[in-house]
Structure 1
Amino acid sequence: MTTTTPRPYGFTRPPEPRSLGSALRGHEILGGKLPLTGAMVEGDPFAVTDLTPAQAAELHGFGWLDDLAAVGSAKARDLAQMRVLAWIAAHPKPSAAADSPVWRADVTGRRVLRWLFHAGQILPGLDRDTAQPVFDSLHAQLSVLERVGMLEGAARVEALSARAMAAMLLKGAEGAAQAALDDLASDVETSIRRRVMRGRCPEALLSCLSQLAWVGATAKDMGRDIPEQIASVIEEIAPVLRALRHADGGLPRFHGGGRGPAGRLDHSLRAATGPSIVAPGHAMGFARLSRSRSTVMLDAAAPPAGPAAAHAHASTLAIEFTSARHPIVVNCGAGGMFGPAWARASRATACHSTLSLTGLSSAKLLPPDEHGSERLTLLPQKVWAGQCDDEGNLMPPDAPAPSPREGQPILSGHDAWQGTHGLTCLRELYLSADGDELRGEDTLAALDIESQGRLEQILTNMPDGIGYDIRFHLHPDVDAIPDGDAIRLILPGKEEWYFSHDMIAEQRLEPSAYLESGQSAPQPTTQIVLSHRLTAQAVRIGWTFMRAGAS
């Protein structure tokens, strides 16, 4: 009879709990309900059989251990320990089942990291014999992480980072630590610079920074030198994420990403050892306006194409607007984990805070076919954004930035509908020096003779004109109340803003949805909609958000 030799027992040093969770979600889990993105699981979550592959990946990645750790009670520790030991009993060895994400390398990496971070939850009270299966499983999972296969981008970084962490921390694996660090170092340029940065998803970039920072901190604790490539990428990512940081510490929710776990952005930025600089220009294709306690993020580039197109959104010229700790204007977010209908709808321009022709997005985004081959993606050919002068003219890229004591203007545009309608879309924004006023003007216009001829042909067949809408999706915590011709916006803490417009368009409030990872269902919210019809060669709509009491 063959017996299995147990793997080495213990850690080279006690792991640190580095990831952050939500105590609110942790208490939900203790109450018998595990919120996954698009589902609320009751009872034993591993007994549920009708999860989507994405939800199964979320469950088996054990990210929810962060939430139990945030509670920090004995009951939370007991539940974490029970769930981990039950999972090990049900999955005694890695499986290559093609229809299951359980042993996919990035999911395995996420699980290994959480088990390492929360070993202080999982192991207390267990004697050596009872704890041995935990270490056996961690070593077995480390072997999975040595084969990252076809993973790309942030998923690949997650798997390689977990491999490096586990090799440094597990007794008996130390000999593989340097090779794991070297493999991660040799991969970061391709995975991050060529995949994540081009994918234009800020949350994916934050995920990479967090994992590299964890690797760097662990290496430092172990007395190891972190490879230069890893340190260099950390110093390159940090200024980009500083440029993308909203006033409340969250990220803009574009191209398949969310705002990021609360506090993780600032926590991860502290891992960067270089000067606290902000990337110049348009970081990842986003333009930033920032004055006093207010920030505006503008999607100032075309959606990503190629492999990243599967997660791209038709969000060109969409904005997000935050005052201090409270988001005001948002985008609906990524709907992929809320079912096929939300996956399609959330990518449309109408689910973003910008102008769209009625029933027509600014880009047509097609994911790869069933064989993985790329399909045609129709994108704006020209997108531009930059400072503008007092007369609204675009200034050269090397023009000096306005003084912090002055307001901040930006002029942007795209040609997505020039080929079909002869129309160019322009968006001009101005954030006042005190951050108390955000003004905007949205313009549709046929700018040259050829475009004007194309538009005239269309208007001949459409005597009522071309319908279009300007949408401002509001954060769920914002209460919108009609107030005469304006809309009063009440934020948490009773801070108030007013939305007004130039009365050219029809104004109304409509239902909307807020989609964020970890929510069991889309969260209802409200959107402001300005509707009008284009019947001439150009039309301009002006609008304003102003803090109550501002002059």
Structure 2
Amino acid sequence: MSSVHRRGISSLVVGRFARTMVARASGGSAALTRLWPGRTDRLIIAPHDLRTADATRAAEIYAGRFVFAGKIVTSHGRSIFEIEPPSDDWEAALFGFGWLRHLRAADTAITRANARSLVDDWLGNMARHRPVGRRPEVTARRVISLLSQAPLVLSDTDGKFYRRYLRGLTREIRALRHALLDVSDGVPRLQVTIALCYAALCLANQARNIRAATKRLSEELQRQILPDGGHVSRNPGALIELLIDLLPLRQTFAARNIAPPPALLNAIDRMMPMLRFFRHGDGAIALFNGMSATPSDLLATLLAYDDSHGTPMPSMPHSGYQRIDAGTTLVIVDVGPPPPANVSQDAHAGCLSFELSSGACRIVTNCGMPGTNRESWRGFARSTAAHSTVTCHDTSSCSFVERTAMKKLLQGAPIVSGPSQVENRREAVANGVLLTTSHDGYRDRFGVLHQRVIMVKHDGSRVDGEDTLEPAQGGRHRAAQADYALRFHLHPQVKASRLSDAKGVMLVLPNREVWTFEAADDKVDLEESVFLAGNDGPRRSAQIVVRQNSIEAPNVRWSFVRSNSSPQATSARRAARREPELPL
């Protein structure tokens, strides 16, 4: 283990230990506040829930069928909160109470009574103390759901249930305040802060808590939302998770005749363009740093609030991404170092990876992260080999915490070492846009720097590239570890066939558009891959692979070229055609 690796782990452990000690030291006062009868006596407003609701799912819930995270559980008359959950994801969805919105969408006397019965069951059930249900981010989701769906649950109820509901809600809010001392940094911490802000705005007699919650929210937004609108974790999915709560929060401030904090307004204004930056032509979000399948319903809802239209910015320097639009062709490149270790639990070792799409068809992607059953795939999904970039000696460019005990202590497997110097230079040249990038993630282990050059022609008809592994100054370049692989993971809808000369691959897109990949100086293989970010779960796909040795062949030139002919005509004419090389 390198000294850098050890220092990274030590820093994380010390930070975690300090938070735990603070939480324990405050435990006595937190316990006392639970006994103190606060002044909250009524709900005065219910925030809007932007998440899509499906009234047909209300009938399933009424019948005792609970479908979450790809798993189905039937209660058969038992309390759903006492049944052994099939997965942590399923249990988190159950205890998040987001499913109440489906009952509200049906809006019948039966669904209202069913909602009230389920909430009443939970209020008196000791299963509510299960570890997954007490996670701060799950509690935050539950508080927001109970607030936003209060009109459903409290409709036609009596004063006794109303008071019981408020007592349960107040208990959850107090637990959240206590959880702030020990919640994981990043999105979970911000979600807890958002939930506490909602609680202060929606309950009566909360003037002091409104001021405190607003101040805390402003501080977290300023710390976590970067100047270009990206989240500090570098995960595009974080923008969707946060905006779906921040937009109604802005409306809730207005409904209370309270000016929203400038930090909230500024964060939303920056995050919206960043969300569009990651969109491909088919509407899907690029698969970087933990992004899973695009929730198209949520994305459509969010974009309806987007007042800024037009072409997204080409460069997001604080988040570390580049976007090249050329005609109908789009290339998005990860040109940033890993995020800070304390927010890197979902970050990937995908430095210099890119995604390519043509119109509404994605061609080259990263594997992404599955929406469910993540633990089974997490190790592979975060590896460099799951990204469209270079992998040295079958080793990732980042190191992750691996020991089980350490993962439990740190609440995940953060990145403890990786590229520290990531450079990129973008320039307009005669034939298009030229992007020159490099990272040093393999310097210490293999003594090399990875440089990637990408040029996109003005009309988007071709993308040329060159990947080079050059000796790092002072690095130890070992012949036994000089092997590397250049990978291009293909979207499952792309039909790929290896060309007879083993120097290229023909790609046929769903719209019958034809592209040809070539690496004229190297053997090209077509191997199996997996697309993890499908809406229906992992899907089999293919990957283009070029294997080489960095001492014998330190660079690989490649190209993706669009053809105006049919697949048959393209194949017939290819042997007589020689494309010009990349002008470097």
Q: TM-score, normalised by structure 2?
A: 0.74
Say whether residues 1:183 and 2:216 are aligned partners: yes
1:162 has 2:181 as partner? no
What residue number does 2:269 align with? 235
1:57 and 2:73 correspond:
no
Following superposition of structure 1 onto structure 2, how do residues 397-408 of structure 1 map, counting pairs within 5 Å?
A: 407-408=432-433
The aligned amino acid for 1:165 is: Y
Unmatched runs of 5 consecutive residues or more in structure 2: 1-36, 571-584
Instruction: Answer yes or no: is 1:247 the counterpart of 2:281.
Output: yes
- Cα offset, 1:514, TM superposition: 2.8
Deviation per residue, 1:101-159 (Å, 9 max, x gap): 313332122123234445566566x5446973555544443333333222222112212
Residue in structure 2 matching 1:441, options 454, 457, 466: 466
In the TM superposition, 1:142-221 aligns within 5 A as 142-147=173-178, 148-151=180-183, 152-170=185-203, 176-193=209-226, 197-221=231-255
Contact 2:236 2:288 in 1 (8 A): yes
Q: Which 5+ residue runs of structure 1 have no aligned equivalent?
A: 391-401
Work out whether 1:330 is the aligned partner of 2:365.
Answer: yes
Q: Superposition pairs for residues 26-37 of structure 1, below 5 Å?
A: 36-37=68-69
* Aligned counterparts of 1:28 and 1:530: Cα–Cα separation in 2: 50
Residue number in structure 1 paired with 2:322: 287
CA deviations on 1:156-189 (whole Å, 9 max, x unpaired) are: 2212222222333346667744443333224322
What is the aligned partner in structure 1 of residue 580 from structure 2? none
How far has the Cα of 1:518 moved from its partner?
7.6
2:524 maps to a residue whose letter is Q
Judged with a 3 Å threshold, the aligned counterparts in structure 2 of structure 1 residues 294 and 121 are, in CA distance, closer, same or farther, namely farther
Query: Are 1:92 and 2:124 matched, yes or no?
Result: yes
Q: Pick closer, same or farther for the CA change 1:13–1:381 going to 2, 3 Å.
A: closer
Opposite residue 396 of structure 2, the aligned amino acid is S
Which of the residues 284, 297, 302 maps onto 2:337?
302
Q: Does 1:113 align with 2:144?
A: yes
> 2:416 aligned with 1:377, yes or no?
yes
The answer to whether residue 529 in structure 2 is matched with residue 512 in structure 1 is yes
Distance 1:350 1:28, change over 3 A: farther
Separation of aligned partners in 1, 2:173 and 2:324: 44
Residue number in structure 2 paired with 1:486: 505
The one-letter code sitting in structure 2 at the alignment partner of 1:304 is: P
1:240-269 Cα offsets, whole Å, 9 max, x none, are 334334334443222223354215346435
In structure 2, which of residues 443, 454, 460 is the aligned counterpart of residue 418 of structure 1?
443
The match for 2:28 is none
Q: 1:188 to 1:502 in 2, by over 3 A?
A: closer
How far apart are 1:281 and its partner, in Å? 4.2
Structure 1 residue 78: deviation in Å?
A: 5.7
> CA offset at residue 549 of structure 1?
4.5
Q: Distance in 1 between matches of 2:99 and 2:527?
A: 34
Q: Distance in 2 between matches of 1:292 and 1:366?
A: 42
Matched pairs, number: 515
Once the two structures are superposed, the pairs formed by residues 526-545 of structure 1 within 5 Å of their partners are: 526-536=542-552, 538-545=554-561
Q: 1:517 to 1:117 in 2, by over 3 A?
A: farther
Cα gap change, 1:174 to 1:416, in 2 (>3 Å): closer
Q: Deviations over 1:258-284 (max 9, x none)?
A: 354215346435657789874854351
Q: Percent identity?
A: 23
Distance 1:441 1:35, change over 3 A: farther
Whole-Å separation in 1 of the counterparts to 2:471 and 2:523:
22
Quick check: 1:42 aligned with 2:73? yes
Residue 409 of structure 1, aligned match among 423, 434, 437: 434
SS at match of 1:328: strand
Match of 1:141 among 168, 172, 178: 172
Q: Distance in 1 between matches of 2:309 and 2:417?
A: 40
Check 1:94–1:517 CA distance in 2 against 1; reply closer, same or farther (3 A cut). farther
1:257 aligns with 2:291: yes
* Conservation of the 8 A alpha-carbon contact between 2:314 and 2:324: no
Contact 2:519 2:556 (8 Å CA) reproduced: no
CA distance in 2: counterparts of 1:26 and 1:409, whole angstroms: 53
CA 1:268–1:50: 2 relative to 1, 3 Å:
closer
2:421 maps to amino acid: K
CA RMSD of aligned residues (A): 4.2
Show CA shifts across 1:437-471 (max 9, x none): 333222233377x66xx54xx33x58xxx432222
Are 1:103 and 2:137 an aligned pair? no
Distance 1:64 1:480 in 2: 41
What is the rounded CA distance, in whole Å, between the counterparts of 2:463 and 2:432 in structure 1?
A: 10
* Secondary structure of 1:198's aligned partner: coil
Question: Which amino acid letter does the alignment assign opposite residue 365 of structure 1?
Answer: F
Partner in structure 1 of residue 347 of structure 2: 312
- Which whole-Å deviations, capped at 9, do the CAs of 1:291-336 have from their partners, x for residues lacking one? 3333222111222242123322111111122333443322222369
